[in-house]
Amino acid sequence: MRKMKYIGAFDEQNLDKSRILQLINAHRSTEGVRIHRNLDYYDGSHAILRRKKKNEAASNNRLVCNHAKDIADTATSYFLAAPITYSTSDKAMDIDRLTDYFDMADVDETDHDNALDMSRTGVAYEYIYAAQDEARPLIKNLEPQHTFLVYDDTIEENVLFGVYYYWIVDAATKQEIYKAVVATKRFIHTIDIINDSAAAQTAQGNPEPHRFNDVPIVEYRNNKDGIGDYEQQISLIDAYNTLMSDRVNDKEQFLEAILVLIGALLGDDEKETGEAAKQIKDLGILELPSGASAEYITRTFDESSVEVLKKAIKDDIYTFSHVPCLTDENFVGNSSGVAMEYKLLGLEMITKTKERYYTKGLKQRMRLICNYLGLKNIALNPAAIIPEFKRGLPKNMLELSQMIANLSGAVSQKTLISQLDFVEDPDAEVEAVKKESQEKLKQQQQAFGNYAEGDPDDQTEPQKYEKELNE
């Protein structure tokens, strides 16, 4: 993935439209082309659909077997099976205000859109802005084919600004005009740029200041190079589509076999021959004189060899993407948790990479939100906030319950309860269990009565339980 660099001095309050135009055209002709191709394959617009007939009589079936969508959906669902949760390493800091803002901004939906864009195109972007009617931040997923960040030319590669653009054609002048939103660390510019290096650009409007104290466009990469999950398997997907299309073409040509007559003619001229051929096709009957014979000439093909090639290509698609085909026979049966994790080892490796780069983007998101909340005298340290991810892996609840029982006393109850996917708030669950234990203790005390404190051997079981609970 190519990084866009800005060479020279940069004034965030007064933008150079000609430089912005160069950056937009460079992105559109490189990253834009790559991203559009990846999105086309996810949507089912594959190269096989543009294949033309060899001749008028030839069959031209064009089958799309959309492995790209299957790979992206599987990888996304495994990566973000459940909403991201947040905890803090600073016990004195209350992050409820931050998570409340996240809930109001529908970050769960944005996170899923970002994860899907990462899988499809290798990169995702989001725009953080303040609502016009309410003093609260909102988050919106941006189209990766129309968005990019621009870095300075230092070794640190600091982000100078982000650009979101799209283009329209002026009905009067027929000129292509870019509508661009340029977000710097302090300002938001909404500008029109004529897509012509020789054209005189009109003066831009006044930039609007924002309160996030940093560039409010956040980038999430799928991996270091920004490569999509199926991007490098597109040639294999094309080969699979071609094989399946040709397979159907061969079937049709088999049904359209050539009839050969030996020792007889259908007619004396072309007209009579055509009428006789039509009658044979309609009636399915052919009358021949004595000594004559007829047979069909058909193409023969080895169906088993085609099936072997089909399986080999399909296996390569999923092997090299590291995303398993969940309909494969390897996933049939009640496998143990360890066996299932081994089968998903490749997917887990690329998901760990996704998680690492997504966490980097989340830290930038939290810095921006915390900067905004600081204006409301809500002091939060984004460095102390820890995002937590959950995998979309089917779990053996029996094994999990046995593991929790075995670790009881060696690991805190909160940590053990957090392993259960159906428990959303481990802290609340621990309190609920403690409350139920206390209520049970009171019921036992009422049933058996209370003895005065004395020799521990004279205490009732409820009294001993209460003492242990307090200790």
Q: What percentage of residues in the chain have a pLDDT greater than 90?
A: 43
More confident residue, 89 or 238: 238
Both structure tokens of 122: 């290798």
Asked, for residue 389, whether it belongs to a domain, the answer is yes
Asked, for residue 212, whether it belongs to a domain, the answer is yes
More confident residue, 408 or 35: 35
Tally of CB atoms within 10 A around 41: 25
User: Quick one: average pLDDT of 230-238?
Assistant: 96
Placement of tokens 């066996």 in the chain: 339
Residue 202: φ, ψ to 5° = -70, 155
Residue 403: φ, ψ to 5° = -65, -40
Cα separation, 427 vs 141, in Å, equals: 31
Asked, for residue 309, whether it belongs to a domain, the answer is yes
Both structure tokens of 433: 């269990």
Q: Which residues 6+ apart lie within 8 Å of 190 measured at CB?
A: 179, 180, 181, 205, 208
The model's pLDDT over 268-316, given as tens digits with 9 standing for 90+, comes to: 788 877 777 777 777 777 777 887 888 777 666 677 888 999 999 999 9
More confident residue, 134 or 324: 324
Q: How many domains in the chain? A: 1
Tally of CB atoms within 10 A around 223: 17
User: Quick one: average pLDDT of 357-362?
Assistant: 96
Both structure tokens of 145: 């084919």
Cα separation, 460 vs 76, in Å, equals: 55
> What pLDDT sits at residue 471?
54
More confident residue, 327 or 316: 316
Task: Give how far the C-alpha of residue 420 lies from the chain's centroid of Cα atoms, to the nearest Å.
Answer: 25
Whether pLDDT at 456 is above 80? no
Per the prediction, the chain carries an average pLDDT of: 85
The model's pLDDT over 34-93, given as tens digits with 9 standing for 90+, comes to: 999 999 999 999 999 999 887 777 788 899 999 999 999 999 999 998 889 898 888 888
The model's pLDDT over 124-138, given as tens digits with 9 standing for 90+, comes to: 999 999 877 777 889
C-alpha radius of gyration, the chain, whole number: 33
Asked, for residue 346, whether it belongs to a domain, the answer is yes
Report which of 119, 83, 20 is spatially closest to residue 323, judged by C-alpha positions.
Answer: 119
Asked, for residue 438, whether it belongs to a domain, the answer is no
Largest CA distance in the chain: 124
Q: Which CA distances in Å does 164 have to 6, 110, 126, 157, 372?
A: 16, 17, 10, 20, 22
Report which of 159, 201, 198 is spatially closest to residue 180, judged by C-alpha positions.
Answer: 201
How does residue 147 score in pLDDT terms, banded at 50, 70 and 90? very high
CA dihedral 370, 376, 380, 386 (to 10 degrees): -50
Asked, for residue 266, whether it belongs to a domain, the answer is no
User: Quick one: average pLDDT of 415-426?
Assistant: 74
Instruction: Count the alpha carbons within 13 Å of 337 in the hemisphere toward its beta carbon.
Output: 13
* Sheet of 137-142, strand order: 137-142, 123-130, 217-221
> What pLDDT sits at residue 72?
96
Placement of tokens 């428990």 in the chain: 423
Domain extent for 97: 1-237+303-394
Cα separation, 374 vs 372, in Å, equals: 5
Whether pLDDT at 469 is above 60? no
Q: Which CA distances in Å does 40 have to 2, 25, 189, 194?
A: 20, 21, 31, 28
Cα separation, 451 vs 464, in Å, equals: 11
Whether pLDDT at 350 is above 90? yes
Asked, for residue 285, whether it belongs to a domain, the answer is no
Residue 137: φ, ψ to 5° = -80, 145
Asked, for residue 41, whether it belongs to a domain, the answer is yes
Q: Which residues 6+ apart lie within 8 Å of 433 measured at CB?
A: 413, 417
> What pLDDT sits at residue 1?
79
Cα separation, 145 vs 43, in Å, equals: 15
> What pLDDT sits at residue 304?
84
> What pLDDT sits at residue 452?
47
Beta-strand ranges (E) seen in 222-372 are 258-262, 293-297
